[in-house]
Amino acid sequence: MRITASDDSRTPGESFAAPQRGAHDSDPVIGVGTASGKAILFGEHAVVYGHPAIALPLRDLRVRAEAEPLPERRLLHSALYTGDLGRVPDRLASTARAVEATMSAVGADGSGVRVHVESDLPAERGVGSSAAVSAAIVQAVAAAFGHELDPSERHHLIQIAERAAHTSPSGLDARTVVSDRPVWFQDGSAHDLEVAGPLSFVIADSGVRGRTREAVAAVRALRDADPIAVERRLDRLGALAREGRAALASPRPEEIGVRMDEAHALLGELGVGDPALDRLAGIARTGGALGAKLTGGGRGGCVLVLARDPDHATELAHDLRGRGAAATWTTELRGTR
């Protein structure tokens, strides 16, 4: 996955850097962690009910965290908040939980820490910001206290943090933000997908804050009220993920695009759409996109658009920005064979 306008020079797949020291051995140890954003191609909301989903890591939209042990205080420095970790605003509850859970896991309950976070990701837009920030922090804090986590430990801690943001996260975001390949996810299990590629995508930010927790609750309430109709839609979303998997392996871009459009419509019927998302998806289709859909929890956030090729992706991104998108990014999914 390559996103334009990135100056990230890390090796593909790198999500952890060893502790760093200053010029002298007595200088404090700085733990470093990185993670990426994500876009869901198929399976939003259905994945919560056991259906499969496909997610794409956005490897050049990055989060970087640094952690430095302190005697007592726990401090956070970020673009959204700087100050005492115990006083973070509610929207950063998962960030604080990532620090606290990792400190406890590495036996540093009585210690302090200074955590600095830098992120390319827009917050609350359905592109995995909370999971990516948590993943980077978990790695950075563990490294600062001399621990290198195995994948299972890392995932467990990210999920603890994600519960502060989303109550009952499926685990899809937590898996994808630390992967360098598309992810197939079902019932808590994830593995890499084969992609023939290349495929060109645009991500367009509606400028409307996504409301994942609210959207998940709305689908649950609708399912309780009309289980037959909702299950039919969830079943179809799962089937679209399976069909999309086969199309990715070919690849058959037109078939992927048709299924993206259907998924967008189904998600709207489940009550998680938004007029701003519908408008951007419509603009993309009018511009010749093969498909367009909301990505993530919905009720705001971003749309994911499949273009014909990289030049077309650039054209679509420019058009979407000119017609109301708060921001756009183009990305190419390369083959994995």
Give the strand pairing for 189-192 and 183-186.
antiparallel
pLDDT band at 5 (very low <50, low <70, confident <90, very high): very low
The pLDDT assigned to 4 comes to 41
pLDDT tens for residues 156-210?
999 999 998 877 788 899 999 999 899 999 998 999 998 987 999 999 999 999 8
Residues 6+ apart with CB under 8 A from 44: 53, 237, 263, 267, 272, 294, 295, 296, 297, 298
The pLDDT assigned to 24 comes to 45
Which of 313 and 9 is assigned the larger pLDDT?
313
pLDDT band at 26 (very low <50, low <70, confident <90, very high): low
Q: Are 265 and 236 in contact (CB under 8 A)?
A: no
Cα separation of 290 and 252, whole Å? 11
Whole-model pTM? 0.86
pLDDT band at 251 (very low <50, low <70, confident <90, very high): confident
pLDDT band at 50 (very low <50, low <70, confident <90, very high): very high
The pLDDT assigned to 337 comes to 64
Arithmetic mean of pLDDT over the chain: 89
Residues 6+ apart with CB under 8 A from 125: 205, 206, 209, 210, 296, 300, 301, 302
